[in-house]
Structures are given as C-alpha cells and as structure tokens.
Structure 1
C-alpha cells in the first residue's frame, strides 16, 4: 500500500481522529490544572502571608490599579523615604513627598520592587497599611498590640525616624504607610541607599504629630473613624464601633475616643461611664458623659463586643503510654476495643485550663494498630469553637507468653518435694568480711610454710657440718 492509499484508508482516519481527541482532552486537563494551581497559590498568599509573617484580609485590588508614576528612595543615614514623581516622558523625576522612617537592622541597600499589599500583618507585633518589597520585608505603619486601630504602641510611634527596629522592615507613620499602600503600583521601584548625615534633602521633613494621653489611635491615620480627625472643642469624638474585647481581659474604656473641653484641653480621663462585664461574651453599650464649665452636658456612646478567640490550653501529664496485647494476630491486635481502651487510658491524664470544654481523643484506625509507637491526638473545644490540642505517644507491646517464663515452684510445692530452702545471698559487708578472713588465713599459712622450710634448711646444714668435723 502506497502513501496515497494509506492516507485515504478508513483505519488511518480513525487513528488520526483518536490522536486529535487525545490532544484536545490533554489540553483541557492541563488548562484546568493550571487554573486550579493558580487559584490555590492566590488563596495561600491571601491567608498565610509571606515568610514568617501572618497576613490578613484580602489583597487590595485598588493598589494594583494605581499609576506607576512614583519612585521611592530610602536614605539610611538620614532615616527618610523620599517619593519622586516621574515627568510625563518618564525620563526625569522630581521630589514629591518625604517621610521620616525607622529602618530595621537587617535592611540592606539595593534596588527592590514593591509586591503585594495587606491591610494588617503580624510581624513582630501588628502593623497597618503593609506593602511587601522583598521576602519578609515590609513598608508598614508603627506597631499595634492587636489587630485594631485603637491599640497603637506609642513607643513604636515615637521611634519613627529615630531608633532601629530588629528586622528588615521600614516603619512609617500610618498616614505615610497608607499613602504608599494606596498609591504605589505593584513593582514600583524602591531604592535603598546608604547615604550620609551630611546629605542635603530635597524636601523638608514635616513636624511630628503628637499623641494624646488616652487615645490609642495613630493621630495621622487617614481612617475616617479616627477620633483625631473628628475632634472638636467641647465634644467627645469616638472611633470605630463595636470595640472588640477579648473575654476575661481588662477593658480600656478610653482608647477609642478623644474628649476636649471648650478650650481644647484633653478631658478624656475625666469622663464618667458605666462598666461592663468582660467575663461573658456578648455586646453591651457604654455611655460617656461630662459636664463642661458652661454647664453644658456632653455625651457619647460606644458598643463593646466581648469575644472569645483564645484557644483552651489542653495538656497531658504523661507523654508516653504502653498498651499490651495478647499476640500479633489480627484478632488480638486489631480489635475495636483496643483503640477504645487506649483512648480511655490517655483520657485519665488529660487536663484543661477551661472547665466547659469538649475533650476529643483520636488515634490510628484499629485496623492500623501494630507493635510499636504511634501518636494519640488530644483536642479541647470551648463553646466559642476555639480548639486547643496536644499529642502524646503510645507503644503497643506483645504480652510475654506464660510458656516462656521460668518455672518457679511455690512454697507448698517445695515443702512437698523436700527441696532445700533457698539461702539468702550474703550481704555485701558480710561477703567482704569473709573474703578478708580467707585472705588472712592464706597469708598465715604461707608464712608458716616459709618458716618450716627455713628450719629444715638450717637443720640440714648443721648435720653436714657435724659430719665434716668428725672426718677431720
């Protein structure tokens, strides 16, 4: 059959169609796998963060849509970040903004490009308005003690532009971190230069905004709920609501508001208010009041939500258990009752720091039980759904067969068989005394033997002398 006939044959056409179908199906499967992998990676980035940090909230889509008209430069010697703006032709740039900053000890000079942005990140404390610029290195706000805007760590805020932080981050005031977060496009260039104390800056650094005694907000935070942005003489300015409080913790009633009298004096600490019980979860209202010198009464309210997000602490006083079975045979080893007995054995040693919890103990499937060590998992879940856990080990051993044990007759059997009574082993002190006595006897005997030999030799010598004299 020539090539022309082969191409016209039905068999060849069927083979060709089959090959095409296989290629189409393979292409669809490959595309589906790529899509799934992309989605998994994206979800992982959103929920788990990058490196040793914990990133929360979705990546801000608006950040990716901003223009790429800016160039960031950090001067390490001067502790400032200068924002340059490109001209329309992208060839020249001029200084546009300047931010004081705190640099981590591990910040390295070089050129980088901004990456993903997150509203809150846990990185040696919580931070707001975070922009990643390399692995585990961020441009971010000062530190917060919790993931709430009224929990600012004022020591961290006051160190901006001064002291060094121990990591690779660049710390800014909230307003400046928010500007980078909102305006710098993905892959905006960040250049970090060593600089010099003598460098002339292109712009003047602005004056620091001071914090008030009681309010826990960053005074520069552009968040619309910020009491600093709403403050006015003779009023009580409140922040976000509800205010979340961890169950059982002390409530800071003044961190989310700012009160001023008619002259602008801070009167936050003088407000009267009702207290709530933080030992029970739920939402309660707190009302604040103050009577001004003019006689006018000012008032404001905040909702407080007591939440329980703390995992119960479950522990086990033993970390290693042993369970014996009759034999390696499946009917002895893989019984349902074995797994149940192991769980109950472990349960006796489990304790938890909370009383109203459900303890669940799990181990391997009964069919997977075998001689050796295996893990036993212990979980404690409270009413709020928080789960604490720990793990112990259990070793399965085979019971020693009675036939392998050495036969030991009872006292009655020994008496009946008239077996000699067992003599107790001499004590160590008695043993040493006997050894000493034996040694002394041996030494004495050897000494006497030597003496007798000497006497015999003397007598023999005397006899020889006597004989010689007689001959003479």
Structure 2
C-alpha cells in the first residue's frame, strides 16, 4: 500500500493508478529554533507544534496480532506490513463492537467511545486480530481564542506548582520581528524554556525602547492612551511603555479599532507593545509585578516561531476575535468547510477529492490551503470508505466533516 502526504495543489488522486492509496494531507505550520535552550535540556521542545492534528494516523503492524491504542474521535489506519496489494484488495474487515470502534474497507479505524474491542481482518489465508483500546479524548492545550504557540507545558506546570520558587515567567519582546516569547526557568534556574509565543505590534520606526532590565510595575484593566483611545488589560514595563491591546475608541470591548488590529505582526504603535486581547490578558492575569521583561532585536523571531495573525473581515463588528468575553460575537464561531460530500466512484475512475472543497476561518478568511483529508481508499476494491476533511485556523479552532466514498 502506498501512503502519500500531499498538499492541496498537487492533490489529484488517480484512483486507477495504484491498488491502495492512503489520502493523508497535513497542514504544518513553519518551525524555527534557536540556541536558547541548553543542550543538556533534552526534554525541552523548541519547535512550534503543528497547527493540524500531529498524531500519525498510520499504524504499521507486523504479525497476526497487535495491540493498538486510540482516543475517542481519533483516526488510525491499520497497515499490515506483510500483506501484498493483491491480498489487500480481497481483505475483509470487521469490528466486534461498532459502538466503540469502527473499521472501513480500507482498514481505517475510528474511536467512538471508551472501551475495548477487536478488529478482525481476513487477509489472504490469514486471520489478523487487533486488540483496540479506546481512551478518552485528550484535551487541547489551546483555549480557542489566542493565536499563540504553546510548548513545554509540563515544565511550566511543574514550576507553577513550586509556589515558593522564583517568578515562573520572563517576557522577551523581539522588536524587529514583532513577536513576544515567554520563558520559564530550567532545572538550573535559568529562563531558557520557551512556553508561549505571541504576535504583537511594536513602535513605528523602532519607537519601542530596547533594554534588558525592565519589569512589570503597573496593571490596569482599561487605561487611557494617546490620541483619546483606550488600552485593555494594560501592564506597564518601563515608564510609558506598556503591553496593551489594540486601541479601543472607548473603554468598551465592542469599540475596537479593527483596521489597527489587522496590523498585528508589523510595526504600528507609538512605542508600546500592542497584542491580541487574549494574549495581553494572559500577561495581565499570569505575570505578576516584577516579572522581568527584555526588548531586543533579532532576525530570528524566537524558538517557537512567530504566530500567524487572524485578520478581521467584518469591520462593522467592533470586537477583538480573541476576546473571551461571552458577549463577543466571535465566541461561538468556528471555521467552516464547504463542498465536502459523499462520493461514489467506479473502480478505476480518476477523482480529485478536493475539487470544489473550500474552507474559511473564524473571521471568514480563506484557509482552503489548510484543509487536511484523512482516509484510506483501495482503488481496485469495491467497498465503502470513510474520509475526514478537517481544518484548524490560527485561533486553534477546528472543523471536521466526515464523508463516505463508495467504490462500485
């Protein structure tokens, strides 16, 4: 069986060309790293995790039996390593309990509810049995509001539990890249472990002051700014230099200057560090007074990379999409996938499974190029196959649509 990982531009699936094809498309965000983590900290992650589900769906098994673990709502594709293409075309799959785990004619299994079940596959003259354990679905580390990148949550949680230790956070602002990275301390007490990266806007023409000896000294939920506007969740770190939201026309969450919001990631302020409401609120809530702050210039945005901003398309709505206020109109919105539907194909037919399929994010921006399609279609085997179209936007909100492909 030939497994392929392909992007949308090249995704023309010639079903007659190969006996077995796994349709796996994965959107992976760019990754960067630097030398900020000592070599002896081998458990420290300095890469930004994939925006898509980074669990590998393919399970290659050897022998007639295997134990496989899967979570609820997770997909895996069982691939017997010793089976020939001709044997797979004639294979028959079944589940002992379709309420716990299902299997299609291509060996794709879907975890539905917690429990154990057995998947049976008759491949050639051999009967294969796979013992499946379905566990509860893991909770996402993201809250569905911020566009931030998170990493090393295990190290951070350990530090947060050491309430008598030092301040768990150190904030570093990369002025030239308009990116903020927050660090926690390593086993040596040094702030080398990156835990959160956030997009920002620093001062136009490098108006944000550089320095490595700043500290948060002031907090205010709403604070007047120059030009008769207001900042939300303000944390001062040096004189008049503040972390604050994109400006609001009034001290009210529905008066955001939306055009200014769309400048995040580029220079835009008079000198302060502007951030998404979700991110500046995180600093406001989590980083106490005396949290150290450094402002520096570097071509590398930071060890976790620079998050991608979400853009507001509806300028009549004066809300920051990342604001977790329950009254926020964006609070109940999710990405959308359009055009994905069940498909019937004749054995040997050519099909483009992404033709006419599009996606938009929480703010209605086109994110079609982030669509992932997961499934396994045996081209010369009449049967029923399950495909999943999924997409995740920069706010880490997701959408999933399952469709059925019948080969007749």
Task: Give me the TM-score of the superposition, normalised by structure 1.
Answer: 0.34
Higher relative strand content: 2
**TM superposition score normalised by structure 2:** 0.39
The higher relative CO (CA closer than 8 Å, separation ≥ 6) is in 2
**Higher relative helix content:** 1
